[in-house]
Amino acid sequence: MRKVTLTLLIVASMALGGCYESTDITLHDPGVYRGGSDPLLAKQASPEQRARLGERFQMGQTDR
Amino acid sequence: MARMKFLCDAERCIECNGCVTACKNEHEVPWGVNRRRVVTLDDGVPGERSISVACMHCTDAPCAAVCPVDCFYTTDDGIVLHDKDLCIGCGYCFYACPFGAPQYPQKEAFGVRGKMDKCTFCAGGPEDDGSAAEFEKYGRNRIAEGKLPICAEMCSTKALLAGDGDMVADIYRERILKRSTRPQTWGWGVAYKADS
């Protein structure tokens, strides 16, 4: 009888423990990007890349 | 830092849809999705005007402001991009966008829209530059290759310009000065020439 009571207590405590729910609130921080990082961002910071795009524009899109 | 911008010169656009075709071909955009399209006002009436429209990469993008999962980001030179892994296809960005840029493949059952798709200024997305994953999700990354958007580079009349906003503005300003602020294709200048 004692063993059964002990087992029931353990099972009950484990079952109730499984129902635990975190009460921490996840606050929404609007406007903060949550996705993956884009390697292009680092590339665009280089002056060479900007110069290439500028040359490309002058080469292809200016009026002739 | 340059701010990348599109500009479509309505005086030059001849509604050839070359930009639309070039975009679809370059990025292998699926059926039902048009990242770019040509809108014509007063079609068939003298004085009709056409303009090529896609995502205008707004400085204060309303799509990013309303996104409930914050999947939008803006690069340092002003290109608005998004992460398709985060997108839940809610459609809020579509309602917020004044240009109707966000598109949905509508492949799934029960009206589920699928991941939002839009013009990337040919700058891909948050995947390794030039990778197969990036191409599949966002299309080709021409910016990483040092090229500009294919729609503008393919425009036969140079109506559609894409690049550093200051350089685009300089070209457009020169055109306006040459036109003397009036269209020269018809109107008084054509009907009543100075020597007649």
Name the minimum distance, in Å, from the CA of B160 to any CA of chain A: 9
List C-alpha distances in Å: A59 to A44, A54, B81, B146, B153: 20, 9, 26, 12, 10
Q: Render pLDDT for B112-158 as a digit per residue (tens, 0 to 9).
A: 888 999 999 999 999 999 999 999 999 999 999 999 999 999 999 99
- Choice between A18 and B119, residue whose per-residue pLDDT is larger: B119
Answer whether residue B32 is part of any domain. Answer: yes
Answer whether residue B163 is part of any domain. Answer: yes
Residue B107 has pLDDT above 80, yes or no: no
Name the minimum distance, in Å, from the CA of A26 to any CA of chain B: 13
- Choice between B89 and B110, residue whose per-residue pLDDT is larger: B89
| CA R_g for chain B | 19
Average pLDDT over residues B59-63: 92
Structural domain containing residue B101: 4-191
Contact B174 A58 (CB under 8 A): no
Which residues contact residue B142 at a Cβ distance below 8 angstroms, ignoring those fewer than 6 apart? B26, B122, B123, B148, B149, B150
Answer whether residue B96 is part of any domain. Answer: yes
Contacting A with CB below 8 Å, chain B residues are 1-2, 64-65, 69-73, 75-77, 81-83, 85-86, 123-129, 141, 143-144, 146-148, 152-153, 158, 161-164, 167, 171, 174-175
Chain B residues with beta carbon closer than 8 angstroms to that of A44: 75-77, 143
Which residues contact residue B40 at a Cβ distance below 8 angstroms, ignoring those fewer than 6 apart? B15, B48, B49, B50
Question: What pLDDT does B165 receive?
Answer: 93
Answer whether residue B196 is part of any domain. Answer: no
Question: What pLDDT does B186 receive?
Answer: 53
Q: Which of B163, B160, B139 is CA-nearest to residue B77? A: B163
Answer whether residue B125 is part of any domain. Answer: yes
Total domains in the fold of chain B: 1
CA gap B195, B189 in Å, rounded:
11
Contact B129 A39 (CB under 8 A): yes
Interface test with B, best of A26, A32, A40 (most B CBs within 10 A): A40
CATH number at residue B57: 3.30.70.20
The answer to whether B141 touches B134, Cβ cutoff 8 Å, is: yes
Of the listed ranges A19-28, A35-44, B165-174, the one predicted with least confidence: A19-28
Answer whether residue B111 is part of any domain. Answer: yes
Question: What pLDDT does A45 receive?
Answer: 87
Average pLDDT over residues A43-47: 89
Answer whether residue B110 is part of any domain. Answer: yes
Answer whether residue B90 is part of any domain. Answer: yes
Contact A53 B152 (CB under 8 A): no
CA gap A59, A44 in Å, rounded:
20
CA gap B82, B99 in Å, rounded:
17
- Per-residue DSSP letter, B29: P
List C-alpha distances in Å: B143 to A52, B11, B173: 10, 28, 25
Report if pTM > 0.90.
Answer: no
The answer to whether B19 touches B155, Cβ cutoff 8 Å, is: yes
The answer to whether B62 touches B130, Cβ cutoff 8 Å, is: no
